[in-house]
Chain A
């Protein structure tokens, strides 16, 4: 007994609010350094890639390496526009929340490339199972912004009738599965949806989304097991933005390892990718979607990025991290980086950026204004309270009819 020193509990150290030096920025490969395997690669042959970082754009905005595709300037300008529109949307919604027009909002600042580029490789009929931080999936497919704002305002035109907290969109037509407040639950559902597609000999694929923090939920594990066993056409996205509210990714189990590496035990091929590099995100998404569509099975992708904004409108990050934390982030800003690339190619300019930013701000403001015409959380028209009793079941059972009558409807 005496030969053992007393045990001690290891609680991962966290980036101090004064100093970001403890953010894990190891394993950042240079642009172009990581190889591009064939889509039918044996997962065991790319284990090393889970500890590297697929990057295309270098610090000068040049596209490098095997993942650099010859993309038309129009495609990239659309990508830039999608990301800028997503940011403009976030900023406007923040303002609506601060004005008291709604109760809550969540931005995806700094993470725009991940959702926008991923969406650009999907086809109509594919299904995303997003978290609350992938609004770019809707914006990149030019989903009507008014429709999104209606949801934020819980107004009379809200397609989900004001039943859900703001940002919990649902749009089947857009291949955007209903967002739930319960973390991780949609990850295994995406696998189930993909299994269904395979059972039906369909060609549609599913995309699962989760954050770094929620990988600790048991449904993450369940999803990987099912994906491993049945090999359905699913892309398992892990958006590692370094933070789960106040908890650094080390508390989720990211200390001295990567989330991409989680896939190895399941024999699922995985890649770790620069989430702020639009070209890298697009190329890797394309690779994974092609694998899925060719019936080669699931892929796990860790998108390495940074949550620049507060967790939500109810959060104050200055209580747990430095105010300029994102400035120290080595992967920069996805919008700036793609802009730099386009400018380097002579396909864009600062002036056009400034002009587009103003244009998008106008467009979003107009959409927000239009949505306000349908009411806001506290003012204007809203759904009848009688609708509260609808859709609990397909047909309203007697006890709900009685309760609705009790409320006076």
Chain B
């Protein structure tokens, strides 16, 4: 099986989907001729023509709004927002329109569309190339929110998202595009080819939306993570020697509660990790769910390791980014004997 980077896996997902279903169209800023600023759509316009893969004006509300109209017509648009940080002008269309179309028409009109957006930090992206706005989507009824952590999942989840009849926000941690990143920024980056999960089949396969996966089995503490933080959590477990069970949520909405509960009931301890800012972040929802459903199994309060409640800084990248050291400290604290 070929080894693929996350970029290649995402591109392959669109290629496979466009090949199978001529209702799939791909568009966004620089997505057509140029193949995307991250190369995720490279070659698609050449292969499928400009009416299937095309460049869009710099207008996020235009891109998302047009996608809603296309989806209402019966196409399956895959729209790209160049950076998650720039989705805000399209937010009205996402929240007020795409998310609610099925509900407000009792299924008369639907929005089977995907909005792809590169997200996350760890790349010296500063304020507007690093944000993790997932909580702004998980809070919205009617949206599904997906975030892969490796090439295999990225392709399978994106194909699932394109085939899904509900609008899916597909967040792509750009820090993981070329290789896994565990937060040890002082070490050389390992390419995906050295990682098992870069084995990506050529053809069609899916990874189900709404299913988490246990990435590392353990008994001491449950770590709930997604995106880049899955790799950081693994590094933290290795660095501290703590036998952490690491769950890669993969889908934030709808959430795979069973996998979470099963693990926390086993370990009795839980650490939630995300890059996004802390207050009202998705971690708050995870902590609340664990508290409600696993209260009598908990030996310690649920901990959260997150970005600080500040805009994403440039020079202080590594003081902001919740790296293996901070996650490791939380693991130690969560597993400390009283």
**Chain A residues proximal to chain B, CB less than 8 Å:** 127, 129, 159-161, 163-164, 168, 170-172, 177-178, 180-182, 185, 187-200, 206, 218-219, 221-223, 225-226, 229, 390-394, 397-399
Contact = CB atoms under 8 A, between A and B. Distances in A.
Given A185-B96, A219-B61, A399-B254, A190 B108 contact: no
Contacts of A164: 104
Interface residues of B, number: 45
A159 B108 contact: yes
B106 A391 contact: yes
Contacts, number: 146
Nearest to A388: B103
Contacts of B255: 399
Interface stretch (B69-77, B153-161, B170-178, B194-202): B69-77
Interface string B93-115: 10011001111111111100000
Given A185-B92, A398-B254, A399-B254, A191 B105 contact: no
Contacts of B97: 180, 182, 185, 189
Nearest to A129: B69
A223 B64 CA distance: 11
B165 interface: yes
Nearest to B58: A225
A393 B144 contact: yes
B107 A391 contact: yes
Contacts of B51: 198-199
B103 A225 contact: no
Contacts of B25: 196, 199
Given A127-B73, A192-B73, A223-B65, 18 more contacts: A170-B104, A180-B104, A182-B96, A185-B65, A185-B93, A185-B96, A188-B66, A189-B72, A192-B66, A192-B72, A193-B69, A196-B70, A196-B73, A199-B70, A200-B75, A219-B61, A222-B59, A225-B62
A180 B93 CA distance: 11
A170 B109 contact: yes
A222 B69 contact: no
B102 A394 contact: yes
B73 A219 contact: no
A385 to B, nearest CB: 14
B52 A199 contact: yes
Interface core residue of A178, A191, A221, A223 (most chain B CB under 10 Å): A178
Interface in B67-92: 67-70, 72-75, 77, 89, 92
A397 B256 CA distance: 10
A163 B92 contact: no
B72 A193 contact: yes
A189 B65 contact: yes
